[in-house]
Amino acid sequence: MQPNDLLVFSGSKSLYMAEEICKSLDCKLGKMNRVGFADGEFCVYFEESIRGKDIYLVQSTFPTADNLFELLLMIDAAKRASAHYIAAVIPYFGWARQDRKDKPRVSIGAKLVADLLQVAGISRLITMDLHADQIQGFFDVPVDHLYASNVFTDYINELVAKGEVSLENLVIATPDVGGTKRANSYARAFGVPMVICHKLRLKANEVAEMRIIGDVEGKDVLLVDDIVDTAGTITKAANLMMENGARSVRAIASHAVMSDPATERIEQSALTEMVFTNSIPYNKGSKKVRVLSVAPMFAEAIRRVSMHESISDLYSI
């Protein structure tokens, strides 16, 4: 059951996600349009009345920056059209890796994006697997921070049911120390050991050295990460696992940023399978890449928020 004043609209690059969400909610996708100009500028407008309605705007903010700016224009248009409530549904929250000052004279991009969304007029944010949990504190509106573990735990259980891995032989691994908390959550949930890859970076997107902390010999290793960008870290970790005697290596990651040459690296790596959610569309055709949909999870979150119900049990890990 859905409230009559709930409407879902989509940005141009997340239409596939919004359509799945609406299918799960058994509602029609709202009508809106984007008009471009010769110089690259564009505007958006709603093609139906939204006065007094609860509006859910679906748009991941992956590159280019046009996706973020389109969302900001959508929010502003909804506010000026007298929408009662404006929730931004952002499966992939871009600029999240810029969550602190890690060197002098840099911006905190995640805080700037949070400020832009709030000034534009959002009432709520619904997102998934932020790169840093503290980004929730950058907002002065409610933030529903969902986790891709809702679909990944089903994937792991599927591997076990098919006999491709066994819980007695499974090891959860993190490709860097920063992901220890995430990997540990999976290890505790399934009651299996965890290993850590310690990496040394000399510059962004380039790993100079990596070492394994823990034992992977004869094990089925599952690497856990939130973002795969150029795939340098995840593939280097997978190759290192196999060199240290692992029986197989698979990887799960929430967001398929997948900048070139990521697909080529995954194809040439020791990975048996690389699994993403569809928070970012992936269409580069790797046989090793599998994509799982999180649209039903976001649809359920939207339904519960609109009905003022708890969403606590959506946080499985």
Name the catalytic one among 13, 53, 111, 199: 199
CA–CA distances in Å: residue 232 to residues 182, 190, 205, 228, 290: 19, 27, 7, 8, 18
Of 292, 220, 221, which Cα lies nearest the Cα of 255? 292
Q: Is 199 labeled as catalytic in the residue annotation?
A: yes
Q: Which three-class secondary structure state does DSSP give residue 63?
A: coil
Residues in the chain: 317
User: What DSSP character marks residue 142?
Assistant: -
Element housing 21 (H / E): helix 15-25
DSSP one-letter code for 17: H
Residue (of 96, 94, 114, 156) closest to 290 by Cα position: 156
Cβ neighbours for 90, distance < 8 A, ≥ 6 positions apart:
59, 60, 61, 71, 125, 126, 127
Backbone angles phi, psi at 127, to 5 degrees: -140, -175
Contacts of 241 (CB under 8 A, 6+ apart): 173, 212, 216, 221, 223, 249, 270
Q: Cα–Cα distance between 279 and 17 in angstroms, integer?
A: 8
Q: Which residues are catalytic?
A: 199
